[in-house]
Structure 1
Amino acid sequence: MASSIPLASIQLNSATISFDDRFTLSEVDWTIEPDQHWVITGANGSGKSALAATLAGIGDIEAGSIEGLPERVGLVSFEAQAELIAAELKKDDADIMDVVSLGTPVREMIFDYCRDVELAEELVEKFGLAPLLERAFRKLSTGETRKVMLVRALANEPALLILDEPFDGLDVDTLAMLQAHLAAIVDHVPMVLVLNRFDEMPDFITHVAYLDKGRLAPAQGGRKRGDEQRGEKGRLAFTVDRKDEAAFNELYQLLHLKTTDLNVPEADPASRLPALDPGQPLVKLTQATIRYGDTLIVDRLDWTIERGQHWQLSGPNGSGKTCVLSLITGDHPQCYTNDIFVFGFKRGSGESIWQIKQFIGYVSTALQWEYRVSTSCKNVVISGFYDSIGVYTKATDQQKRVADQWLELLGMSARADQPFNKLSYGDQRLLLIARAMVKHPPLLILDEPCLGLDDMNRQLVLALIEKICEGGETTVLYVNHHTEDRIKEIDNHLTLEKHH
Structure 2
Amino acid sequence: MDTSICLENVTVNFDDRFLLSEVNWTIEPNQHWVITGTNGAGKSALAAVLAGVGDIESGGVSGLPSRVGVVSFEAQADLIAAELKKDDADIMDVISEGTPVKEMIFEGCQDPQLANELVSKFGLSGLLERAFRKLSTGESRKVMLIRALTSKPDLLILDEPFDGLDAATLFMLQAHLATLISTVPMVFVLNRFDEMPDFITHVAYVEKGRLPHTVCRDDESAFSELYQLLHLKTTDLSVPEADPETALPALDPTQPLVRLTDITIKYGDTVIVDKLNWTIEPNQHWQLSGPNGSGKTGILSLITGDHPQCYVNDIFVFGFKRGSGESIWQIKQFIGYVSTALQWEYRVSTSLRNVIISGFYDSIGLYSKCTDRQKKIADQWLALLGMQDRADQPFNKLSYGDQRLLLIARAMVKHPPLLILDEPCLGLDDMNRQLVLALIEKICAGSETAVLYVNHHPEDQIAGIDNYLALTKNE
Taking structure 2 as the reference length, the TM-score comes to 0.51
Q: Counterparts of 1:164-243 in structure 2 under 5 Å?
A: 226=189, 230-231=193-194
Alpha-carbon separation, structure 1, partners of 2:388 and 2:261: 45
1:415 deviation in Å?
Answer: 2.3
Corresponding residue for 2:348? 373
1:483 deviation in Å?
Answer: 4.5
Corresponding residue for 1:114? none
Q: Are positions 1:362 and 2:357 aligned together?
A: no
Pick aligned residue for 2:207 from 230, 233, 244:
244
Q: CA 1:349/1:227 → structure 2, altered by over 3 Å: closer, same or farther? A: closer
1:325 deviation in Å?
Answer: 0.7
Corresponding residue for 1:124? none
Deviations for 1:47-96, whole angstroms, at most 9, x for unmatched residues? xxxxxxxxxxxxxxxxxxxxxxxxxxxxxxxxxxxxxxxxxxxxxxxxxx
Pick aligned residue for 1:442 from 400, 417, 429:
417
1:464 deviation in Å?
Answer: 2.9
**One-letter code aligned to 2:354:** N
% identity of equivalent residues: 75
Alpha-carbon separation, structure 1, partners of 2:228 and 2:385: 12
Q: CA 1:399/1:229 → structure 2, altered by over 3 Å: closer, same or farther? A: closer
**One-letter code aligned to 2:424:** P
1:371 deviation in Å?
Answer: 1.5
Deviations for 1:288-324, whole angstroms, at most 9, x for unmatched residues? 1122232111111111111111111110111000111
SS class of match (2:410): helix
Alpha-carbon separation, structure 2, partners of 1:397 and 1:467: 25
1:453 deviation in Å?
Answer: 3.9
Q: Are positions 1:413 and 2:376 aligned together?
A: no
Q: Are positions 1:306 and 2:269 aligned together?
A: no
Deviations for 1:213-239, whole angstroms, at most 9, x for unmatched residues? xxxxxxxxxxx99577635999xxxxx
Deviations for 1:99-118, whole angstroms, at most 9, x for unmatched residues? xxxxxxxxxxxxxxxxxxxx
Q: Counterparts of 1:398-409 in structure 2 under 5 Å?
A: 398-409=373-384
Corresponding residue for 1:99? none
Q: CA 1:251/1:358 → structure 2, altered by over 3 Å: closer, same or farther? A: farther
Q: CA 1:252/1:347 → structure 2, altered by over 3 Å: closer, same or farther? A: farther
Corresponding residue for 1:463? 438
1:326 deviation in Å?
Answer: 1.2
**One-letter code aligned to 1:259:** T
SS class of match (1:298): strand
| 1:362 and 1:445 in contact (8 A); partners too | yes
Pick aligned residue for 1:343 from 312, 315, 318:
318
Aligned length: 269
Deviations for 1:376-420, whole angstroms, at most 9, x for unmatched residues? 211111111222222233321111111111112222222222222
Alpha-carbon separation, structure 2, partners of 1:328 and 1:482: 23
SS class of match (2:260): strand
Q: Counterparts of 1:280-319 in structure 2 under 5 Å?
A: 280-319=255-294
| 1:374 and 1:419 in contact (8 A); partners too | yes
Corresponding residue for 1:353? 328
- Consecutive unaligned residues of structure 2, counting only runs of 5 or more, are 1-186, 198-202, 213-226
Larger radius of gyration: 1
Corresponding residue for 2:254? 279
Pick aligned residue for 2:403 from 412, 424, 428:
428
Q: CA 1:286/1:311 → structure 2, altered by over 3 Å: closer, same or farther? A: same
**One-letter code aligned to 1:304:** T
Alpha-carbon separation, structure 1, partners of 2:308 and 2:206: 53
Q: CA 1:329/1:459 → structure 2, altered by over 3 Å: closer, same or farther? A: same
SS class of match (1:340): strand
Deviations for 1:422-452, whole angstroms, at most 9, x for unmatched residues? 2221111111111112221101111122334
Moved over 6 A (4+): 240-243, 250-254
Alpha-carbon separation, structure 2, partners of 1:444 and 1:291: 26
| 1:287 and 1:302 in contact (8 A); partners too | yes
Alpha-carbon separation, structure 2, partners of 1:253 and 1:484: 16
SS class of match (1:259): coil
Q: CA 1:313/1:233 → structure 2, altered by over 3 Å: closer, same or farther? A: farther
Higher RCO (C-alpha 8 Å, min separation 6):
2
1:463 deviation in Å?
Answer: 3.1
| 2:404 and 2:424 in contact (8 A); partners too | yes
Corresponding residue for 2:467? 492
Alpha-carbon separation, structure 1, partners of 2:253 and 2:415: 16
SS class of match (1:466): helix
Q: CA 1:466/1:424 → structure 2, altered by over 3 Å: closer, same or farther? A: farther
The 10-residue stretch of structure 1 (462-471 or 430-439) with the greater mean CA deviation from structure 2: 462-471
| 1:336 and 1:347 in contact (8 A); partners too | yes
| 2:265 and 2:271 in contact (8 A); partners too | yes
Q: CA 1:255/1:393 → structure 2, altered by over 3 Å: closer, same or farther? A: farther
- Consecutive unaligned residues of structure 1, counting only runs of 5 or more, are 1-223, 235-239
| 1:341 and 1:347 in contact (8 A); partners too | yes
1:255 deviation in Å?
Answer: 5.2
**One-letter code aligned to 2:353:** K
**One-letter code aligned to 2:373:** Q
SS class of match (1:362): strand
Q: Counterparts of 1:138-157 in structure 2 under 5 Å?
A: none
Alpha-carbon separation, structure 2, partners of 1:372 and 1:228: 24
SS class of match (1:333): coil
Corresponding residue for 2:235? 259
**One-letter code aligned to 1:230:** F
**One-letter code aligned to 1:383:** S
| 1:314 and 1:482 in contact (8 A); partners too | no
Corresponding residue for 2:164? none
Alpha-carbon separation, structure 2, partners of 1:281 and 1:414: 41
Deviations for 1:435-480, whole angstroms, at most 9, x for unmatched residues? 1122211011111223344555444433332232233321111112
